[in-house]
Amino acid sequence: MQAAINRKQLQLKGDPTRVIGRFFWAGEARAAELIHRVLKMSDHETHQALMRTLRGFAGRHRNLNQVFLRHLNAALDRVPAERAAVERTSDEKKSLIGAFFTHEYSIESAAFFNPSLVPALDQTDLQEGEIRLVMSVRAVGEGHISSIVFRNIILNAQNEPRSEKPSAFVGLAETIHYANYDKKDFARRIQEEAHLDPSLLSRLIDPLPANFNHRELFEQYWALYGSYPEDSTEREDLSHLMTVADRYYEVHFSLDTDLSERVLHPMIDFEMKGIEDARFLQFRRDDGSKVYYGTYTAYNGQQIRPMLIETPDFYEFTIRPIYGDAAINKNHALFPRKINGHYYVLCRVDGINNYIVRTNRLQVWDDAILLSQPQFTWQLYQIGNCGPPIETKHGWVVITHGVGPMRKYCLGAMLLDLDDPTIVLGRLPEPLLSPREDEREGYVPNVVYSCGSILHNDEIFIPYGISDEAIRFATIALPDLIARMVAPDNMAKQDMYVSAENDSKGNDQEGALTQVQGKGTKRKELPTPLP
């Protein structure tokens, strides 16, 4: 019998009218020809064309003219021979040229799902017992390209949620800073941390200038990557080499934007096909200060890789790479604090089972320990986490998911030891949450899924996507959840670890499990079954 879970009435869907002005590019030759055509227009023709464009689109965007000028500069970076002529022309001509390099993209038009929740910094203007939450959402538009969008959610003392009204505007960051690298320093760190063939490193960085940014690095990487056959060792080495960069880019949103206006859209080629399934958490540092982290999956159409977001306030975001033998596949979720001086992260390196990593470095994940395997019929295809662990007096509560027959996704839960989270204390034998009849239809049918829940007023509050179509909310009392868990089978006592030979191709559906004895931390004996 499944645990009694309380579904809430609130349901949120994507809004196709929320559009961003995205850079439009059709190649150098067409760009140069287009610029020449606009430069030949008279001032009157330019004014009329620009005013018609602004009348038609300014009401759908904040600071649309600034978007035009940003995209003009992006175009001139790609056709630098045209820059001098454009800089001599009028401001209106510059804006009109930028408008031709801009198109609208409806970020929530195709799917709206996979939410995560964290407490907001701003807890003003609330009633007693209420809490304001930041909810991240995976939003999908044309071409199945995923972005991260945000909403403010208020919980009252009875854990009934309401959504603050989102802004009519949505947009990209005001400023974007791509990471810059010194060639000598980059080469030194490659040799120290990646231990790759020096000739391969030379082929990558020799054509680059003494100082280069991440975009230049990636363009050179991608050209070199494509020159080698599929499944070649050179491709694997190059992919590993690129993770040594300590950060990729930073974005900054204006302080006068509402949370719901900010969108994290793919900014580098590693994520050009999507930023997927962000799992945000509020991390408590050793000195008591707090910062927000988020893990997500970057997808470029051929490869996937875990990435790390850091933000102090949801205005400024730094995007960092993750590397190591366990930095593969999907489903990575950090613990919200260090445990005995170590970071811990949940992962699913083989695409099937739950693993855990202990590390001294936030961006380096190695030696994944097998934590749990599919055991029940509703999860036999694969299992994974549904967000960062939640600290309770009973242990770390992890909301999980399982995939069963007909690729039906259900939510589950497990409990990990507070002091040694490699120990599984209990698991739910039945689903915590299954798709109801009114939750089965959508972009991807028969799926309920979450990326991060919270503990509030002694209840686990769970936001979840329904068939990638919309977001709903549910609660379960923490004592009821704990009481329904059972201790794992004796087979979970074994020491099982993942070797570097595990499937590293980013296949989230298949993978061969490799077991290596004798590495990592020794597991303790399991405690007696839960009551």
One domain, residues 457 and 489: yes
Residue 490 has a pLDDT of 36
504 is a domain residue: no
How does pLDDT run across 10-32, given as a tens digit for each residue?
999 999 999 999 999 999 999 99
Which of 106, 127, 144 terminates a domain? The answer is 106
Strands (E), 3-110: 6-7, 12-13, 19-23, 102-106
Main-chain dihedrals φ then ψ at residue 198, nearest 5 degrees: -60, -30
51 is a domain residue: yes
One domain, residues 431 and 349: yes
How does pLDDT run across 190-202, given as a tens digit for each residue?
777 666 778 888 9
528 is a domain residue: no
Residue 439 has a pLDDT of 97
How does pLDDT run across 376-387, given as a tens digit for each residue?
999 999 999 999
From 3-7, 58-62, 85-89, 432-436, the region with the lowest mean pLDDT: 3-7
One domain, residues 94 and 139: no
| Distance in angstroms (rounded) separating the CA atoms of residues 177 and 200 | 28
pLDDT level of residue 515 (50, 70, 90 thresholds):
very low
Residue 192 has a pLDDT of 75
One domain, residues 275 and 191: no
pLDDT level of residue 440 (50, 70, 90 thresholds):
very high
Which of 48, 81, 106 terminates a domain? The answer is 106
The answer, yes or no, to whether residue 499 has pLDDT greater than 60, is no
One domain, residues 130 and 67: no
From 52-56, 148-152, 486-490, 503-507, the region with the lowest mean pLDDT: 503-507
Q: Which domain holds residue 220?
A: 181-244
Q: Is the CB of residue 117 less than 8 Å from the CB of residue 473?
A: no
Token pair 């999860």 in the structure block, residue: 379
Count of domains for the chain: 3
Residue 217 has a pLDDT of 85
The answer, yes or no, to whether residue 531 has pLDDT greater than 60, is no
Main-chain dihedrals φ then ψ at residue 112, nearest 5 degrees: -150, 105
324 is a domain residue: yes
One domain, residues 230 and 264: no
One domain, residues 265 and 394: yes
Instruction: Give the rounded percent of residues in the chain with a pLDDT score beyond 90.
Output: 73
323 is a domain residue: yes
518 is a domain residue: no
The answer, yes or no, to whether residue 221 has pLDDT greater than 50, is yes
519 is a domain residue: no
* Side chain identity, residue 399: I
pLDDT level of residue 245 (50, 70, 90 thresholds):
low
Q: What is the pTM of this model?
A: 0.86
Q: Which of 297, 353, 376, 301 is nearest to 330 (CA)?
A: 297
Residue 244 has a pLDDT of 66
One domain, residues 366 and 298: yes
One domain, residues 347 and 214: no
How does pLDDT run across 52-62, given as a tens digit for each residue?
999 999 999 99
What is the CATH classification number for the domain harbouring 149? Answer: 2.115.10.20
508 is a domain residue: no
From 225-234, 239-248, 322-331, the region with the lowest mean pLDDT: 239-248
One domain, residues 141 and 30: no
The answer, yes or no, to whether residue 230 has pLDDT greater than 90, is no
